[in-house]
């Protein structure tokens, strides 16, 4: 779909990830030793049946969930064993996550939601950061709706705000768990187009999707089944 | 825009909840501030009133006293060797104690027995300026206080009863207004005689009227005023100026005893007594302890009551903040997940929750203090208590109140904030 800019050395590498959940006293293994490597600027999509462990895997990759065993190497560091401060720094600067349900703070405007990564401390958001956030919103086609609250935006627009928030950080890896899952096909297509564009600018994308058509737009397609990559 | 924006925007979005919390806390602060202001004014007034109830320390010469009573019939105290205190010296020594600031009135007394138309009566020599402080309830029914000019008497009466004011439209010519004539009618005291203030019962029993002459040895006293009934021992005696009675009775510079009023909330009465004893060796000092302690207890009880009411109100407010925050943590799990996924530290999440509570506290403290200040005026007005004018508005107290409230609400939100900080992004974001 676009010119690949892939560099061979893996940027992000998961090795032998296992994760099990206990629910109502029953232990079920969601991940049974999954390995995956993502190169810089690569677009990987993960497909598989419901319950095969895709979301669990992406959560582990993006540091949002601790695996039972295995390694997640990023930039020469094992994130499973990293300190909380290191994890926070990576979540803040290197990784960006978007979800099926857009997850914006309901009481902040689109612009403020986009600026959220810069509101971690008492340090006020700078003018430059604000300008950049506006640029990112313009990028996703929402320049005119920057001051609306999430409740005043459509699902597709909210998802685009989430993408703008990922963009503003200048992250290196974008994780997307069914980003088009709750959107109609036309809106989903625009979101996919955006993700493709962003990827061409050097951002690696790991995307979970049920849509085989979108999945095939990626450089690589990974299929999961019952907690394993097949 | 910074981390505080997140806290404040949420407070604004959930304005009903915020307003409710604000209301409860403001009410708490209003009642505490108003209670403390009013209790201060009432306390001051109470002190003045308590002093006006009379003396609480009695300084008298040591005397051998034998109470004689037989078969339930009291024959009275038999005194051997009546002794006197030197007035100037005694007063000076009492004024010289370390705790003199707590001594509000020193009232020396000289008691001389006299016979009027065959009836025995006591003439008590007092210093009227001190005595009037001690006995704020004294009212002259007829005539004037000894030593008072008619003008002073008129002024005093005008103060005591402002509704009897002379017509406002035109200043009445002096001495011409018949209204003024009666209450201020000055009794002429002939040269060589002295003024006498008669207690109501004594005047009635002895048939004394304004202008009546009461002889004491070769001296003459003229009744210039009659006290309204007081319900105290003063009703039964005749009161004269100290200097005049000392001269007339042949005891210049001498007094029988000295009454001391040392009453203020939290007055160290025991210390005052000890210091007076030290200053006046060989003199008997009695505290009207029961009365004193009773008064103190009532003052302290009111203060304690106010304090506990305040504490209950604050605790209620705090638990409200705690509960509402705790439920907010559960509601806001997803938000917390987003923030954590964006690299917000646990501490940052913790601060957002605390800041929200602190903002409510700060505002409640501010609004509550101001409202409480004005409510105090209303309360004092409704209760018809004077002294509202002495309520000082202190910006420093306002700031301190707001700060204390902010700290309090932050403390109340510690547990919810800690719970929020412990939420892992995975619990909040992973949808099944
Ligand atoms: N928090 C959890 N507690 C208990 N079990 C869980 C939890 N999260 C996931 N699981 C279980 O782990 C397995 C994998 O779930 P996961 O959400 O990764 O599947 P998925 O491939 O993303 O499915 P879907 O396509 O429906 O989103 C499932 O059997 C699920 O029930
Ligand atoms: Mg899933």
Q: Give this complex's ipTM.
A: 0.91
**What's the angle, vertex CA B14, arms to CA A100 and CA B416, rounded to 5?**
80
H helix intervals, A84-147: 84-93, 110-115, 127-139
Contacts of B6 in chain A (CB under 8 A): 105, 108, 116, 119
Residues of chain A contacting residue B9, judged by C-beta atoms under 8 Å apart? 105, 107-108, 112
Among the residue ranges A66-80, A81-95, A164-178, B302-316, the one predicted with the least confidence is: B302-316
A22-48 residue pLDDT tens: 888 888 889 999 999 999 999 999 999
B336 in reach of chain A (CB within 8 A):
no
Highest mean pLDDT among A92-96, B112-116, B144-148, B378-382: A92-96
Dump pLDDT digits (tens) for B97-139.
Answer: 888 888 888 999 999 888 888 888 899 999 988 888 878 778 8
Other CB atoms within 10 A of residue B327 CB: 12
The better pLDDT of the pair B173, B398 is held by B398
Q: Which two tokens stand for residue A51?
A: 């319950």
**Model confidence at B80: pLDDT above 80:** no
Report the C-alpha gap between B57 and B343 in whole angstroms.
Answer: 73
Which tokens sit at B427? 């619990």
What pLDDT score does B91 carry? 92
Q: What is the reported pTM?
A: 0.67
Please check the confidence at residue B79 and state whether its pLDDT lies above 70.
no
What contacts A50, CB < 8 A, 6 or more positions away? none
Task: Work out the mean pLDDT of chain B and round it to a whole number.
Answer: 80
Least distant ligand from the CA of A54: 1
Q: What is the model's pLDDT at position B254?
A: 92
**Residue A188 predicted with pLDDT over 80:** yes
Mean pLDDT, range B70-83, rounded to an integer: 58
Nearest CB partner across the interface for B345, out of A88, A100, A108: A88
**pLDDT of res. B427:** 79
Q: Does B7 touch chain A (CB under 8 A)?
A: no
> Is a pLDDT exceeding 70 seen at residue B202?
yes
Between B41 and B181, the higher pLDDT residue:
B41
* Residue with tokens 């006299």, as numbered in its chain: B114
List the single range of A6-10, B106-110, B370-374, B388-392 with lowest mean pLDDT.
A6-10
Query: According to DSSP H, which parts of chain A are helical?
Result: 54-61, 84-93, 110-115, 127-139, 155-168, 185-200, 212-215
- The SS3 assignment for A116 reads helix
Number of CB pairs, chain A paired with chain B, less than 8 A apart: 94
Residue A102 pLDDT class (50, 70, 90 cuts): low
Rounded Cα gap, residues B418 and B432, in angstroms = 26
Tell me what pLDDT residue B358 has: 93
User: Tell me, what's the pLDDT at B232?
Assistant: 76
Q: Which is nearest to B313 in space by CA: B113, B36, B41, B109?
A: B36
Query: How many angstroms away from the CA of A200 is the closest CA of chain B?
Result: 23
| Residue from A84, A112, A121, A149 to probe the interface with B (highest B Cβ count within 10 Å) | A121
The pLDDT of residue B165: 41
Residue B387 has pLDDT above 80, yes or no: no
Q: Kindly indicate the confidence band of residue A138, based on its pLDDT and cuts at 50, 70 and 90.
A: very high
Between CA A117 and CA A115 the distance in angstroms is: 6
Q: Which residues contact A117 (CB under 8 A, 6 or more apart)?
A: A92, A165, A168, A169, B342, B343
Provide, as residue numbers in chain B, all residues whose Cβ is less than 8 Å from the Cβ of A66.
426
User: Which residues in chain B have Cβ-Cβ distances shorter than 8 Å to A112?
Assistant: 1, 5, 9
User: Looking at per-residue confidence, does B417 or A227 come out higher?
Assistant: B417
Quick one: pLDDT at residue B418? 95
Say yes or no for a CB contact (<8 Å) between A119 and B12: no
pLDDT at B117: 81
Q: What is the pLDDT of residues B294-307, one digit of tens each?
A: 666 776 777 688 77
**8-state DSSP, A100:** S
- Assess whether pLDDT exceeds 50 at residue B408: yes
Task: Specify the pLDDT at position B346.
Answer: 94
Interatomic CA distance for residues A214 and A173, integer angstroms: 18
How far apart are the C-alpha atoms of B326 and A148, rounded to whole Å? 29
Tell whether the model's pLDDT for residue A88 goes beyond 80. Answer: yes
Q: Do A88 and B430 touch (CB under 8 A)?
A: no
For atom 3 of ligand 1, the residue with the nearest CA is: A21
Write down the pLDDT at residue B134: 79
B185 vs B363, more confident: B363
Interval between CA B417 and ligand 2 midpoint (Å): 29
Do A122 and B1 lie within an 8 Å CB cutoff? no
Q: Is the CB of A22 under 6 A from ligand 1?
A: no
B255-269: burial string, b at 16+ Cβ within 10 Å, e else: bbbbbbbbbbbebeb
B2 touches chain A (CB under 8 A): yes
Q: What is the mean pLDDT of chain A?
A: 89
What are the tens digits of pLDDT across the range B232-279?
788 889 999 999 999 988 899 999 999 888 765 556 777 888 888 889
Q: Taking 90 as the threshold, does the pLDDT of residue A207 lie above it?
A: yes
Rounded to the nearest 10°, the torsion over CA B41, B47, B49, B53 is: 170
* Share of residues in chain B with pLDDT > 90 (%): 23
Mean pLDDT of B329-337: 88
**Residue B77: pLDDT above 60?**
no
Q: How confident is the model at residue B92 (pLDDT cuts 50, 70, 90)?
A: very high
Residue B344 has pLDDT above 80, yes or no: yes
What mean pLDDT is predicted for residues A217-229?
89
The answer to whether A104 contacts chain B (CB < 8 Å) is yes
Cβ-contact B44, B390 below 8 angstroms = yes
Region B32-52: mean pLDDT is: 69
| pLDDT at residue A72, rounded to an integer | 94
* Residue B166 CB contacts under 8 Å (≥ 6 apart), including other chains: B172, B177, B179, B180
CA quadruple A164, B13, A152, A154: dihedral, nearest 10: 60
**Are B2 and A122 in contact (CB < 8 Å)?**
yes
The whole-number pLDDT of residue B181 equals: 39
Cβ–Cβ < 8 Å for B379, B38: yes
Closest CA to B339 of A200, A190, A112, A35: A112
Tell me the helices (H) and strands (E) count for chain A, helix number first: 7, 10
């Amino acid at each position: 779909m676009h010119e690949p800019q892939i560099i061979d050395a893996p940027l992000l590498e998961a090795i032998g990830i296992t994760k099990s959940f206990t629910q109502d006293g029953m232990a079920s293994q969601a991940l049974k030793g999954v390995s995956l490597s993502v190169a810089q600027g690569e677009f990987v999509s993960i497909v598989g049946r419901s319950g095969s462990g895709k979301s669990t895997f992406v959560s582990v990759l993006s540091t949002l969930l601790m695996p039972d065993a295995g390694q997640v190497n990023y930039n020469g560091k094992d994130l499973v064993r990293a300190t909380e401060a290191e994890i926070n720094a990576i979540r803040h600067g290197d990784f960006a996550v978007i979800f099926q349900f857009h997850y914006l703070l309901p009481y902040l405007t689109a612009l403020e939601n986009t600026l959220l990564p810069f509101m971690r401390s008492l340090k006020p958001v700078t003018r430059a950061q604000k300008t950049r956030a506006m640029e990112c919103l313009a990028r996703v086609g929402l320049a005119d709706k920057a001051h609306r609250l999430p409740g005043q935006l459509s699902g597709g627009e909210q998802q685009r705000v989430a993408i703008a928030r990922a963009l503003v950080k200048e992250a290196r890896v974008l994780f997307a768990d069914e980003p088009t899952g709750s959107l109609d096909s036309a809106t989903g297509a625009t979101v996919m187009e955006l993700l493709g564009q962003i990827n061409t600018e050097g951002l690696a994308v790991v995307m979970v999707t049920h849509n085989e058509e979108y999945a095939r737009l990626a450089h690589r397609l990974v299929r999961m089944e019952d907690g394993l990559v097949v | 825009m910074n981390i505080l924006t997140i806290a404040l925007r949420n407070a604004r979005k959930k304005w009903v909840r915020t307003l409710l919390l604000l209301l409860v806390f403001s009410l708490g602060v209003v009642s505490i501030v108003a209670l403390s202001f009013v209790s201060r004014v009432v306390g001051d007034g109470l002190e003045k009133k308590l002093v006006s109830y009379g003396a609480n320390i009695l300084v008298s010469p040591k005397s051998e006293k034998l109470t004689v009573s037989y078969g339930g019939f009291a024959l009275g105290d038999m005194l051997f060797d009546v002794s006197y205190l030197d007035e100037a010296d005694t007063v000076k020594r009492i004024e010289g104690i370390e705790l003199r600031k707590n001594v509000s009135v020193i009232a020396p007394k000289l008691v001389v027995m006299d016979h009027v138309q065959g009836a025995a009566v006591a003439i008590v020599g007092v210093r009227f300026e001190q005595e009037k402080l001690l006995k704020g309830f004294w009212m002259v029914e007829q005539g004037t206080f000894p030593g008072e000019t008619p003008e002073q008497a008129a002024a005093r009466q005008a103060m005591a009863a402002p509704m009897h004011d002379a017509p406002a439209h035109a200043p009445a010519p002096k001495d011409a207004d018949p209204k003024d004539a009666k209450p201020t009618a000055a009794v002429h005291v002939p040269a060589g005689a002295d003024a006498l203030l008669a207690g109501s019962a004594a005047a009635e029993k002895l048939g004394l009227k304004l202008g009546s002459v009461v002889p004491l040895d070769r001296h003459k006293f003229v009744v210039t005023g009659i006290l309204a009934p007081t319900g105290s021992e003063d009703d039964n005696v005749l009161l004269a100026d100290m200097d005049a009675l000392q001269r007339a009775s042949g005891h210049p510079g001498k007094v029988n005893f000295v009454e001391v009023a040392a009453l203020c909330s939290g007055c160290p009465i025991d210390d005052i007594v000890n210091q007076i004893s030290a200053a006046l060796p060989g003199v008997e000092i009695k505290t009207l302890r029961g009365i004193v302690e009773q008064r103190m207890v009532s003052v302290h009880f009111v203060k304690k009551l106010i304090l506990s009411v305040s504490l209950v109100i604050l605790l209620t407010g705090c638990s409200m903040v705690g509960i509402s925050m705790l439920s907010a943590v559960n509601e806001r799990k997803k938000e917390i997940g987003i923030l954590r996924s964006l690299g917000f530290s646990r501490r940052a999440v913790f601060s957002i929750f605390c800041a929200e509570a602190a903002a409510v506290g700060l505002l409640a403290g501010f609004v509550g203090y101001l409202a409480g200040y004005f409510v105090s005026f209303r309360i004092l007005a409704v209760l018809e208590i004077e002294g509202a004018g002495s309520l000082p508005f202190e910006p420093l107290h306002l700031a301190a109140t707001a700060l204390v409230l902010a700290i309090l609400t932050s403390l109340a939100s510690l547990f919810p904030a800690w719970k929020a900080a412990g939420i892992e992004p995975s619990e909040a974001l992973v949808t099944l």
